[in-house]
Structure 1
Amino acid sequence: MNTKKVTITVYGAEQICASCVGAPGSKDTYEWLQAAIGRKYIADPIAYEYIDINQPQDVDKHQAFVEQIFEEDLFYPIVFVNDEMVAEGIPRLKTIYQSLDKHGVQLQS
């Protein structure tokens, strides 16, 4: 199976989303996702990036999405697999795993 590079992007902030009281913080979610995905999938084709929505962005697509988060009052953290949003607010591993499977990421042996 030919696996392409997959990028998992987590948009979030240090302060927990007002509607997500009791949920883990965005940075905690980012680290939790890396650990959970690393236990199930071969890590080689997966890159991770964390985007702090309260910081200026150098990449246009990140800046545009950060603006969308504030304009549409989206819940964060928001998780993307490549360019597909797979989670908003409290992420569900099942949904993220399905997206990784769709992208051909191989399971650990």
Structure 2
Amino acid sequence: MEHVSVVVYGADVICASCVNAPTSKDIYDWLQPLLKRKYPNISFKYTYIDITKDNDNLTDHDLQFIERIEQDELFYPLITMNDEYVADGYIQTKQITRFIDQKLVNE
């Protein structure tokens, strides 16, 4: 069984450009049953990182994504899988499944 690390970077406050979108925490909660149902042969490990909280124990990789969000290069919620960028801002199912189908399932 393949193992995939899923990280959702977000905040309690909704992104200014994502007013009608779900919150970062909602996306985090929504992803788990969705991916388990669609990809039963992949073992997903989920992590939620609040970009506004204490970031002392994060990797340089995580801090780079947070810095890009703070500089408005990327938006939150931001999703990575196995440290690769998947989607940010207004998250849709198709973005997630396309990434998995192209990068993970067909490897």
Give the TM bin, normalised by the shorter chain.
0.7 to 0.9
Alignment TM-score, normalising by the size of structure 2: 0.84
> 1:14, CA displacement in angstroms?
0.3
1:22 maps to 20
1:90 maps to 90
Change (3 A) 1:44 1:4: closer
Task: Summarize the alignment of residues 1-109 of structure 1 with structure 2, pairs less than 5 Å apart.
Answer: 3-42=1-40, 45-57=43-55, 58-59=57-58, 60-101=60-101, 102-104=103-105
Deviations 1:42-84 (A, max 9, x none): 1652111111000122123212221221023522101111122
Alignment TM-score, normalising by the size of structure 1: 0.82
CA distance in structure 2 between the aligned counterparts of 1:68 and 1:75, rounded to whole angstroms: 8
Moved over 3 A (4+): none
Q: Provide the aligned C-alpha RMSD in A.
A: 1.9
Deviations 1:11-67 (A, max 9, x none): 100000011111111000110111211221116521111110001221232122212
Once the two structures are aligned, what percentage of the paired residues are identical?
45
Task: Show structure 1 runs of 5+ residues with no match.
Answer: none
Change (3 A) 1:44 1:84: closer
CA distance in structure 1 between the aligned counterparts of 2:9 and 2:41, rounded to whole angstroms: 21
Give the structure with the larger strand fraction: 2
Q: How many residues align?
A: 103
Task: Show structure 2 runs of 5+ residues with no match.
Answer: none
